[in-house]
């Protein structure tokens, strides 16, 4: 008589291994040293579970250990105040539900096991979609659909470290819509929101894929321009401001024209995040005092 346990365990092993691969593939990037340390431990534990399964150990206890570990990991992610925490918890709950459909190794119907594996992989696929969507939402400003302040802060911190290590340069530009309060007061906040959205899209269309456009706060935007010198970036920024000043923003009562002021600076060896932002912010202040609708660059 054939051993039915072997028949049903084989698809279980394949299904659980695919599950672990999916979990590893959707783990979010860690930004702080504490997060990176914890994520590294988590990945190591997942790999250990894979080794356990390949060695022939029963899958069912292992999958429950994995789920418990997932819950712990994402609860700690919430403690780190990652903005996509709620989506992660929901996704893991969906994964938990999917795992409950895993066939027990003693199940005597191999076909039933195969169907459960297909269902499991479908649920895990949904987990990947939810986590990817959550990561995108967490990184994007909900109104303008460019990067949000949190993404900007993390990117700038990474750029400062990486460019210091490679002794390369980048440019930071801070831009502010001139007299934005007057636009809101005259035309209303819905029109003001449209101005913000269209400004963000104009900025996004004028930068390279390697650059970053972010909403810095309120009516202020930030650009991170990689691998470029200030002497090259400044005239390009002047052209961009002229393009925006000439742009007509349509609304129900006609069109609106407005301008931007810009302060910009180049990263130099010895700079920190604070010193780079301070110089760009001072440049923006100078641009406002100089009559607005202009670029003021600061080196040191």
| 219 classed as catalytic | yes
- Residue 52, phi then psi, degrees to nearest 5: -60, -45
Q: Single out the catalytic residue among 60, 125, 137, 219.
A: 219
Whole-number Cα distances in Å, 17 to 10, 23, 58, 71, 224:
11, 10, 12, 19, 40
Give the count of beta carbons closer than 10 Å to the beta carbon of residue 44: 9
In whole angstroms, give the CA distance from residue 157 to residue 140. Answer: 17
| Concatenated DSSP letters of 158-201 | HHHHHHHHHT--EEEEEEEETTHHHHHHHH-HHHHHHHHHHHHH
Q: What is the dihedral of CA 12, 17, 23, 26, to 10 degrees?
A: -120
Structure tokens of 244? 């925006």
| Residues labelled catalytic | 219
């Amino acid at each position: 008589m054939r051993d039915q346990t072997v028949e049903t365990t084989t698809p279980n092993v394949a299904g659980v291994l695919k599950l672990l691969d999916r979990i590893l593939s959707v783990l979010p990037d860690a930004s702080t040293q504490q997060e990176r340390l914890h994520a590294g431990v988590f990945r190591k534990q997942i790999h250990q579970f894979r080794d356990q399964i390949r060695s022939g150990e029963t899958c069912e206890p292992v999958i429950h250990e994995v789920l418990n570990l997932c819950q712990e990991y994402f609860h700690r992610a919430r403690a780190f105040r990652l903005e996509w925490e709620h989506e992660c918890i929901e996704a893991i709950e969906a994964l938990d539900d999917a795992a409950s459909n895993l066939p027990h190794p003693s199940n005597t119907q191999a076909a039933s096991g195969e169907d459960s594996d297909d269902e499991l992989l479908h649920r895990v696929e949904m987990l990947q979609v939810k986590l990817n969507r959550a990561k995108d939402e967490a990184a994007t400003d909900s109104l303008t659909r460019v990067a949000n302040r949190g993404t900007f802060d993390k990117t700038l911190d990474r750029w400062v470290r990486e460019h210091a290590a490679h002794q390369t340069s980048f440019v930071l530009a801070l831009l502010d819509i001139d007299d934005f309060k007057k636009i809101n007061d005259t035309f209303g906040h819905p029109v003001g929101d449209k101005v913000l959205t269209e400004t963000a899209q104009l900025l996004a269309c004028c930068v390279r894929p390697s650059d970053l456009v972010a909403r810095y706060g309120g009516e202020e935007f930030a650009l991170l321009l990689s691998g470029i010198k200030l002497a090259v970036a400044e005239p390009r920024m002047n052209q961009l401001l002229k393009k925006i000043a000439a742009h007509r923003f349509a609304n129900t009562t006609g069109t609106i024209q407005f301008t931007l002021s810009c302060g910009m600076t180049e990263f130099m060896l010895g700079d920190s995040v604070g010193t780079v932002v301070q110089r760009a912010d001072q440049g923006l202040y100078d641009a406002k005092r100089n009559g607005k609708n202009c670029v003021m660059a600061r080196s040191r």
